[in-house]
Amino acid sequence: MAVRASSEGAAAAADPEGAPPLEVSDSFEEFARAPSLEAVDRLARAVLADATWPTVRAWNRSGRSAVGCFPVYTPQELIHAMGMLPVALHGGGETIEISHADAALGSFLCSISKSTLEMGLTGRLAPFRAFVFPYICDVSRNLEGIFPRAVPGAATHMLHLPQNFRSAATVPFLVAEYRRLLRVLESAGGSPYRPDRLADSIELFNRQRAEIARWTEIKRRDPSRISLTESYLVRRLGGLLPREVHLELLRRMRAAVEDRVPRPKDSVRVLLVGSFCEQPTLDLLDLLEQVGCYVVDDELLQLYRWHPAVDPTGDPLENLARAYVESPLDIGVRATPTTKGEAILGRVAAAGAQAVLFLTAKFCEPALEDIVLYRAALDREKIPSLHLEFEERSSALDQSRLQLETFVESILFA
């Protein structure tokens, strides 16, 4: 594996908890040229286990800037078009011990808010020049308010996304919001905005989304060909690497997946709902398949599947806004003009799922609010469902295993 521990720059990159920082090459060649899916899996796990952002430090070495994007949606094409690296902030996962953030945030809040603030308070977010927080919930709004004090040298921006998709004023409102974001990025070291560069970035991100859609289709069609964690880790790298590198990796690894011989097992086809912001641990994702669930569609890392494609011709800023507004996506932080019941039944049918697993972050109100409506529709159609909660650092999975095994058996042996 090309990633290695290094003492170079350790003072700048040192993890306050003492783990040695990893070093990746400036060209990210080890990712683009990884020989197998197993090698990519190892690389991704090594990067995620390092709280000092090794891919961001590699990007910064040539004098470029990175922008951290809190879930769920930021128009990352804008950041890319200004010569900056958009990086998905998905909290600290299992790597961060909370010792400072508890003093600033209440106890009954999701783990991602605490671990993100902890990273800021302990200097781990030093590689970033700016942060974007979409207004998805009160927690993200409050985090944005605290962040300038946690990371004083970086710009912090709250992105207001529309909730009314029927008004003629919605697209102009979002274009104005994107222009506000552009000004922040320019002042944080981004190149001046140019529509032709944004059009190029839109085309690149369209190719990345199209490739991710192919991966999703493989998992839906033939779920034994690739495990959930393999598919997840490959997608997760999409928010950590330069997009050109990620696109190359996706293409090469898809060919490897399609060469595999499928080995189907007796499993239940499951739609995974509710993990659109804070992410479950890899052990929990592994557990789902161990107990007999084929996750044939999910809301993990939803950003890469928000809308299928953005028109790069004409006014690219308006097209980017229009693609967001016209997306049919219906998840907890976005209300579309469909009803929640119609939305969940449509997704179950499209995925060919037999059951729905609600996997929600503890204390995540946007995810919890919809479950009652979803469940009413599923119960009416006699589609089984189960709700589990998780936290970033919850390692005890015995209770979840028991619930999942009972759920799977009740479907397989019904």
Between 22 and 361, CB nearer to ligand SF4: 361
Between 87 and 367, CB nearer to ligand SF4: 367
Measure Cα distances from 164 to 32, 70, 156, 266, 326 in Å: 41, 22, 25, 43, 11
Shortest Å distance, C-beta 151 to ligand SF4 = 17
The amino acid present at 47, given as its one-letter code, is: V
Concatenating the DSSP letter of every residue in 285-315 gives HHHHHHTTEEEEE--TTGGGGSSS----SS-
Shortest Å distance, C-beta 359 to ligand SF4 = 12
Residue 391 in contact with ligand SF4, rule: CB under 6 A: no
Residue 116 in contact with ligand SF4, rule: CB under 6 A: no
| Cβ-Cβ contacts under 8 Å for 103 (sequence gap 6 or more) | none
Residue 140 in contact with ligand SF4, rule: CB under 6 A: yes
Residue 113 in contact with ligand SF4, rule: CB under 6 A: yes
Among 3, 364, 378, 386, binds ligand SF4 (CB under 6 A): 364
Shortest Å distance, C-beta 150 to ligand SF4 = 15
Q: Number of residues in contact with ligand SF4, rule: CB under 6 A?
A: 15
Measure Cα distances from 207 to 203, 213, 244, 247, 326 in Å: 6, 10, 10, 7, 19
Binding segment for ligand SF4 (CB under 6 A), chosen from 9-17, 24-32, 134-142, 212-220, is 134-142
Residue 136 in contact with ligand SF4, rule: CB under 6 A: yes
Shortest Å distance, C-beta 183 to ligand SF4 = 25
CA 223/CA 231 separation, integer angstroms: 10
Residue 345 in contact with ligand SF4, rule: CB under 6 A: no
Here's the x/- map for ligand SF4, 224-263, by CB under 6 A: it reads as ----------------------------------------
Binding segment for ligand SF4 (CB under 6 A), chosen from 29-37, 144-152, 342-350, 360-368, is 360-368
- Do you know the residue count of the chain? 414
Among 137, 161, 351, 377, binds ligand SF4 (CB under 6 A): 137
CA 380/CA 414 separation, integer angstroms: 18
Residue 366 in contact with ligand SF4, rule: CB under 6 A: yes
**Which stretches within 222-298 are classed as H helix?**
228-236, 243-259, 282-290
**Which stretches within 151-194 are classed as H helix?**
170-187
Closest CA relative to residue 243, chosen from 254, 233, 235: 235
CA 331/CA 335 separation, integer angstroms: 7
Shortest Å distance, C-beta 115 to ligand SF4 = 11
Residue 359 in contact with ligand SF4, rule: CB under 6 A: no
Shortest Å distance, C-beta 340 to ligand SF4 = 16
CA 112/CA 71 separation, integer angstroms: 10
Strand-pairing partners, residue 87, are 68
> Interface residues with ligand SF4 (CB under 6 A)?
110, 112-113, 136-137, 139-140, 277-278, 333, 361, 364-367
